[in-house]
Structure 1
Amino acid sequence: MFFANRRKFFKTISGALAAAAPALAAPSRKRSKLVIWLMPEALRYDTLIAAEPWLRSGGLRRLMEEGSFFPDCSLNASSFSSSALATLQTGAYPAGHGIVADRWAQRSVIAASPARLQATTLSEQVRLADTRNRTFWISSDTHLAELGAGLGKPEESSLYGTDSKGKFQLSAGPPNTWLTSFAAKNAPDEPRTFEWRAMHAAAGAPPLRSFRVDAAQPQESLRGWQASPFGLSYEFDFLTALIRNQKLGRGPAGDLVTVVLDSFGKLARAEGGDSPLMRELLLHLDSEIENLLAFLTADGVEATLAMTSLHGAPDTSTGGHRVSGQALATSIEKALATHFGPNPGRRIETYIYPFLYLKNPEKVTREMRLAAGKAALAGGPVQAFYTADGDCSHTGEWAQRMRNSFHATRSGDVMLSYLPGYLEDTGETRGVSFGSLYNYDVRVPAIFWGPGFSDQDFEDRIAAVDVAPTLARVLDVAAPSSSVGRVLAEVFTSGMPGPRGDRAAR
């Protein structure tokens, strides 16, 4: 609180001095030709704040102190990986961009894909603005890279995903020769033993994890390797190789490279957002960012960096916190039969969390949807519901989050939200899943660093839909077609930048 008050005091003094000073011409905004957007998949804001005392001076701490730091950037909508990525990239909510979950139903089960997007992405806007602009995507989940690249032809953006052995490969885009050499020198499937040690552990301390990558159990060992500092380092090694070999930031126009750091998502799925291993992986991210900044300086590349976590993650779950979607749908079906009388056949077409689809849409009434929502509240660990008619069990911000998440033709008849900590039962005996509307899933940190950004902390909450239009402003391109976010004008330097203050006092 002292830190926030002191910053407010200095801002007041600075504003008074600026008002008394002679008018000055606004400085021209400096731009870099390379923008790097880092997206750790499941990094919560509280994980970053808790690890702050252990951060290096040249890594995340440098970004936070020299750039614009928002500890509270909210998705304000569903936090499924596909939905969250589309929200960040389009500056629109699922109600507008159409990616309501990782999968949903429209007569059959539909998976999220670029063809299902109903809005352009930032990557598309960059390519549309100037044919010389280049966009690149790095993600071990090729699906997310394709979704972020947008509706245009895949070959218009260079997409790099991983194969079954964990090696990066070109999924779409112009062919290149350096990739083969990189894959040969950085083979994650080479048989060896890895020991994950705590970043600040005493000499001789046992490893946090030890696992061997071998051909006997390729997928299991690969998952462990990817959800570790070794997988994270591989992602950054590939990023620096891409910058060097593709000469990013040195072309006639601008380059945008987006990196989805899947190592965080894989670890969070297995261990939960509250795992001590998540903090340890964050400290390794800190080290990788320090190395990246040093590389850019040595290579003579001036870059802008943005970092926004894709979404958060719930705490470690137990078997008692898992919800059987089939059992929930059955209880709602029985309640509807009691309310409206027997019916030949089922009234529910299907339930794909979090959406309930009723049969014969042309005959479904508002009363039926309300009855289904109320039955869900009474018959299972359900916190809230929202219907296609706009009826909601809650008001205020919670209702707004559900409204932002609900698409008129893709979200069925009723959207449900489970109680905090409850997850859809996917058959896994451990681990967590993403997608809820709770703060542990939707609140993430955001950082903007580079030429033209002010060095300030902003305690006011911003929306994830604000990130794309802000970066579009940096890149001098139009905001995505359906963007409802605002340009975060406060992050840009003015004639009199505000003082920064001591972060340790916060």
Structure 2
Amino acid sequence: MKIQNKLLLYFFTVSLFNCVSKEKETTTRTSTPKLVIGIVVDQMRYDYLQRFNSKYGEGGFKRLLNQGFSLENAHYNYIPTYTAVGHASIFTGTTPDNHGIIGNYWYDKYLKKSIYCVDDDRHTTVGNDGKGGKKSPYRMFTTTISDQLKLAQNMKGKTIGIGIKDRSAILPAGHTADAAYWFDGGSVGHWISSSFYMNNLPNWVNKFNSLGKADEYLSKPWNTLYDISTYTESIADDNNFEETFKGEEKPVFPHDIPSLRDKNNNYSIIKAIPAGNSITTDFAIAAIEGEKLGQNDYTDFLTLSYSSTDYVGHQFGVDSKEIQDTYLRLDKDLERLFTFLDTNVGKNNYTIFLTADHAAVQVPAYLNSVKIPANYLAGKKLTNFIKTKTKEKFNNDNLIENVSNFQVFLNKEEIKKARLSANGVSNYIVEEVINFDGIYKAVTAKAMQENYFEYGIMSSLQKGYNQKLSGDVLLIPNPSTIIYPKKGSTHGSGYSYDTHIPIIFYGNGIKFGKTAKKYEIIDIAPTIATMLKVEFPNGSTGKVIEEALK
């Protein structure tokens, strides 16, 4: 009996020990990360993950896919799909009708001029005497997930935003960020900030700027990472669908960057080659070290935007060998970043999400060459058509104030003076402009306000319509129809080639797996908020992706 009791006591003790161990293990595995990194790859289509998969290494995109949670059917759910709008929507968890960033540039009907999304003359440049730092996020009406993390931690923990583009650094980091940094090209070649965040650059930034990294990258030609003959996933290098750098005869490898930089705005050329992503990675690693991110008792947040992918895509197009090489090199940069995080923050101490601010259309001229319907729309002709039609009907050539971003802004004062109805003028424009070649749909602002479009492209248009800021008539072009030069490509529509993007979660608190269920870009922020156990951004309209969370 004594032996039996001892055995029972032994098994009870072992069971209890195992339970405690498992509980501790579970707690460790699901505890709040020390660092969250939101990575946005500018103009990344979802299919780049698959097209170039056989040439990616194991430590970059494949690491995220093989150990993280991937959404294979994730989309933008609004129009327009532009850079600033995408970055704002990812981190606010809502659409332009709420957060107020309706474009990169848009016509301000109160100021009567075109404005830039992050311009703010109340602030000055930190880092030089130029105007590149007169910026802030004040035009974004709502909070970001990083703002909510700050509030939840009583303003403890650090938030840093990094991107070659100012808007891509500023908007994701939110209103409460400790800093946002972007690259000042031209004759400068340094990372700068705004007095919105600080009075002087930290020592680590000055040290980085003194290293001459940009000159080092620009001292080498851009050739392919691997033998160009193996780049079978992209079209011929020498074709009629790509734009050259100034000073080049053909858009082909190798691109002699040292000899081209002077004709292409000096340091700014680094934005348009893969080295732009490499120097962004260098700077991000320096920021993690310099700010000791992930090294304290609070959760830090780093927003990191890779923009060279967008510049290359615009110039060379979706199917080019240049875009393929850019992604293969970005894969190496991501691997370098992840390896650094493993060593300096700890494998179980950080959480990453990777997505894109929009995707891109294939070059319409290329699509035409393979018998797929696509076209170009002349913006000036469209504007002249609208103005001519309104003048013919109302005998007044001052009724149209602005046409931009596929929106028509009426001159309300002139309409009132002429004793006309704004609704009547808007309705007439809709009736006429639908006959313009290349315009697929047209709708008035009043229709946006009085109707609810549950699904489809009209729903996307409605979510991008901001009653306070948007125009009086909204237009949608035909599929694969763009206002752009005939070489290179662009984005901005609500069609799948612009909306289908990757979303991958990885690291602390994230399950392994994938799903083909449809999710939307605005679902990222509430999902991260749930993982961090903080309140959603105050304008959030997204849902939690529960299947991605442990």
Shared topology, TM-score over 0.5?
Answer: yes
CA distance in 2, matches of 1:119, 1:72: 27
1:248-273, Cα deviation, whole Å (9 max, x unpaired): 10012111101110111111111122
Displacement, 1:217?
Answer: 0.8
Displacement, 1:219?
Answer: 4.0
Structure 1 residue corresponding to 2:207, chosen from 166, 169, 181: 181
Equivalent residue number for residue 96 of structure 1: 98
Equivalent residue number for residue 460 of structure 1: 517
CA contact (8 A) 1:74 1:442 kept: yes
Matched, 1:145 2:169: yes
Displacement, 1:169?
Answer: 3.0
CA distance in 2, matches of 1:87, 1:41: 14
Equivalent residue number for residue 110 of structure 1: 115
Equivalent residue number for residue 380 of structure 2: 326
Q: Secondary structure at the match of 2:138?
A: helix
Map residues 68-79 of structure 1 onto 2, 5 A cutoff.
68-77=69-78, 78-79=80-81
Displacement, 1:351?
Answer: 0.4
Distance 1:193 1:65, change over 3 A: closer
CA contact (8 A) 1:93 1:404 kept: yes
Matched, 1:349 2:370: no
Aligned AA (2:203) = T
Equivalent residue number for residue 7 of structure 1: none
CA distance in 2, matches of 1:273, 1:374: 35
Displacement, 1:378?
Answer: 0.2
Matched, 1:119 2:131: no
Matched, 1:421 2:480: yes
CA contact (8 A) 1:193 1:210 kept: no
Aligned AA (1:194) = P
Distance 1:393 1:332, change over 3 A: farther
* RMSD after superposition: 2.8
Aligned AA (1:87) = S
1:387-421, Cα deviation, whole Å (9 max, x unpaired): 21126999841111111111112111111121222
Displacement, 1:365?
Answer: 4.3
Displacement, 1:489?
Answer: 1.1
CA distance in 2, matches of 1:202, 1:357: 50
Equivalent residue number for residue 193 of structure 1: 220
Map residues 390-429 of structure 1 onto 2, 5 A cutoff.
390=447, 396-425=455-484
1:458-493, Cα deviation, whole Å (9 max, x unpaired): 111110000111122233321111010011111012
Aligned AA (1:111) = Y
Displacement, 1:317?
Answer: 4.4
Q: Secondary structure at the match of 1:457?
A: strand
CA distance in 1, matches of 2:530, 2:453: 36
Map residues 204-215 of structure 1 onto 2, 5 A cutoff.
208-213=253-258
Matched, 1:451 2:477: no
CA distance in 2, matches of 1:217, 1:282: 26
CA distance in 2, matches of 1:294, 1:146: 26
Displacement, 1:350?
Answer: 1.3
CA distance in 1, matches of 2:475, 2:452: 10
Distance 1:68 1:369, change over 3 A: same
CA contact (8 A) 1:42 1:309 kept: yes
CA distance in 2, matches of 1:193, 1:439: 37
CA contact (8 A) 2:387 2:397 kept: no
Distance 1:270 1:336, change over 3 A: same
Q: Secondary structure at the match of 1:213?
A: helix
User: Could you tell me the TM-score, scaled by structure 1's length?
Assistant: 0.84
Displacement, 1:104?
Answer: 1.9
Matched, 1:236 2:281: yes
Structure 1 residue corresponding to 2:331, chosen from 268, 286, 291: 286
Q: Secondary structure at the match of 1:287?
A: helix
CA contact (8 A) 2:351 2:509 kept: no
1:280-313, Cα deviation, whole Å (9 max, x unpaired): 2112222222222222222253211110111111
Distance 1:403 1:281, change over 3 A: same
Moved more, 434-443 or 210-219: 210-219
CA distance in 2, matches of 1:337, 1:295: 63
Structure 2 residue corresponding to 1:161, chosen from 182, 203, 217: 182
Structure 1 residue corresponding to 2:350, chosen from 278, 303, 314: 303
Distance 1:96 1:55, change over 3 A: same
Moved more, 71-80 or 163-172: 163-172
Displacement, 1:442?
Answer: 1.4
Moved more, 107-116 or 391-400: 391-400
Structure 2 residue corresponding to 1:313, chosen from 329, 353, 360: 360
Distance 1:421 1:209, change over 3 A: farther
Aligned residues: 461
Q: Secondary structure at the match of 2:339?
A: helix
Q: Secondary structure at the match of 1:233?
A: helix
Distance 1:296 1:394, change over 3 A: closer
CA distance in 1, matches of 2:543, 2:404: 33
Q: Secondary structure at the match of 2:458?
A: helix
Displacement, 1:110?
Answer: 2.5
Aligned AA (1:145) = A
User: Could you tell me the TM-score, scaled by structure 2's length?
Assistant: 0.77
Structure 2 residue corresponding to 1:134, chosen from 154, 158, 161: 158
Equivalent residue number for residue 3 of structure 1: none
Distance 1:412 1:79, change over 3 A: same
CA distance in 2, matches of 1:441, 1:43: 9
Equivalent residue number for residue 430 of structure 2: 373
Map residues 24-103 of structure 1 onto 2, 5 A cutoff.
28=27, 29-77=30-78, 78-103=80-105
Distance 1:222 1:421, change over 3 A: farther
Distance 1:212 1:54, change over 3 A: closer
CA distance in 2, matches of 1:141, 1:229: 15
Q: Secondary structure at the match of 2:541?
A: coil
Equivalent residue number for residue 258 of structure 1: 303
Q: Secondary structure at the match of 2:256?
A: strand
CA contact (8 A) 1:79 1:437 kept: yes
Q: Secondary structure at the match of 2:403?
A: strand
Identity %: 24
Displacement, 1:166?
Answer: 3.1
CA contact (8 A) 2:295 2:345 kept: no
